[in-house]
Homo-oligomer: A and B are copies of this chain.
Amino acid sequence: MAVTIRDVAQASGVHISTVSRTFTAPHLVNAETRERVLAAASELGYRPNRAASGLITGRTNNIGLVVADIANPFFPPLIKAAEGRARERDHLLFVGDTDEDPEVEEELVRAFAKQVDGVLLCGPRMTDERLKALMQEVSLVVVNRDVKGLPAVMMDIGEGARTAVEHLRALGHTAIGLGTGPRGSWASREIQRVVFGQFEDGPGQVTAMGPNAPTEEGGRALARRVVAEGVTALLAYNDLVAVGVMEGLAEAGVRVPEDVSVVGIDDIPVSRLTRPKLTTVSTPSAAAGRAAVDLLLASQDDRNATAQVRLRTELIVRDSTGPVAAGARGG
């Protein structure tokens, strides 16, 4: 077996409680003794067993992070930022992927529950009820979700969508498609809430099209609807979908932006690689990752801290949007 606190105690001629104190409350132990213990520990390669100490203290110094799809380029920057922040604050981040499955999501949180101090849930797909049940079992922070009583980091995605639609209308588009996301997605609901709240009575008509799988494949399917319904512009649920739409459109011989303008959300790296380059709403995912870690750690200290952090988004105009064509069907 590995080296335990007992081995260190023996090697340095003190009681195990002194060894323990050397690591958890160094000021309580004589400088000389401390040196001896530390020397023995490093000699033997001793590493405290966090699982064992967690059993007593109730703190593991681990944080769980659950995302729907690690393959969605939106998440890695968030994950890396959270990981960095966690490390700064002496915590270890465990990442888990749910494959867009709410069942797996719940399972994953439960499995994490006893092994972490809390779980960061990014864009959770489960219902509010289940979320509330889970928060009894483990501290939770949600990203891009608004649940009463839960600390949350929210990106102002509705506002971003509004700006995007305004951009489209300024270009003369009056038949605009809104590619909605998966059921259960707060971001998708939020986009619809703001966009339809703002524009339903205006001159430009926005048509909801969805739900769509939040993937390139989902976008290709959506492209067929875009062509069929004859809108001249589309705001997609995210960049992945937008990229799929552009692919689908290209295959159907529809030109972007001459025939149809396309806007995405997230500003993932590929959005600069497509031809034309994608106009998109950039979301501050790294900031969100850091904020989520901070919020979790804050809620540890103050059990009923339920702060909400709101982060701004920004429209990045590139080449996939342009003026509506003179004789466009929707015009």
Give min CB distance, A206 to chain B, whole Å.
Answer: 28
Chain A residues touching B, range:
35 or more
| A314 interface residue per 8 A CB criterion | no
Give min CB distance, A113 to chain B, whole Å.
Answer: 7
The answer for the CA separation of A73 and B112 in the assembled complex, in Å, is 25
Of residues 99 through 127 on chain A, the ones whose CB sits less than 8 Å from some CB of chain B are 99, 104, 108, 110-115
Are B60 and A83 in contact (CB-based, < 8 A)? Answer: no
Residue of A50, A73, A273 with most chain B CB atoms under a 10 A cut-off: A273
Partner of A76, one of B1, B70, B269: B70
Q: Which residues of B contact A114 (CB under 8 A)?
A: 2, 47, 49-52
Contact code string A247-265 (vs B, CB < 8 Å = 1, else 0): 1000000000000000000
Q: Which residues of B contact A113 (CB under 8 A)?
A: 2, 47
Instruction: Give the copy number.
Output: 2
Give min CB distance, A265 to chain B, whole Å.
Answer: 18
Q: Which residues of B contact A93 (CB under 8 A)?
A: 96
Given A62-B115, A111-B92, A83 contacting B97 (CB threshold 8 A): yes
| A94 interface residue per 8 A CB criterion | yes
Given A71-B73, A73-B73, A137-B2, A115 contacting B50 (CB threshold 8 A): yes
Partner of A273, one of B99, B104, B270: B270
Give min CB distance, A327 to chain B, whole Å.
Answer: 28
Q: Which residues of B contact A315 (CB under 8 A)?
A: none
Give min CB distance, A250 to chain B, whole Å.
Answer: 10
| A275 interface residue per 8 A CB criterion | yes
The answer for the CA separation of A253 and B161 in the assembled complex, in Å, is 36
| A243 interface residue per 8 A CB criterion | yes
| A80 interface residue per 8 A CB criterion | yes
Are A97 and B80 in contact (CB-based, < 8 A)? Answer: yes
Are B45 and A137 in contact (CB-based, < 8 A)? Answer: yes
| A210 interface residue per 8 A CB criterion | no
Are B95 and A80 in contact (CB-based, < 8 A)? Answer: no
Are B60 and A51 in contact (CB-based, < 8 A)? Answer: yes
The answer for the CA separation of A60 and B111 in the assembled complex, in Å, is 11
In the complex, 27 of the A-B residue pairs with CB atoms within 8 angstroms, ordered by the A residue number, are A1-B58, A2-B113, A2-B137, A45-B137, A47-B114, A49-B55, A49-B114, A51-B54, A52-B55, A52-B114, A62-B115, A70-B70, A70-B95, A71-B76, A71-B77, A71-B80, A73-B73, A79-B97, A80-B97, A83-B96, A92-B108, A93-B96, A94-B94, A94-B95, A94-B96, A95-B96, A247-B273
Q: A70-B80, A83-B99, A94-B96 are in contact. List 11 more A-B contacts (CB 8 A).
A: A1-B58, A47-B137, A51-B55, A51-B60, A52-B55, A55-B55, A71-B73, A83-B97, A92-B96, A92-B108, A94-B94
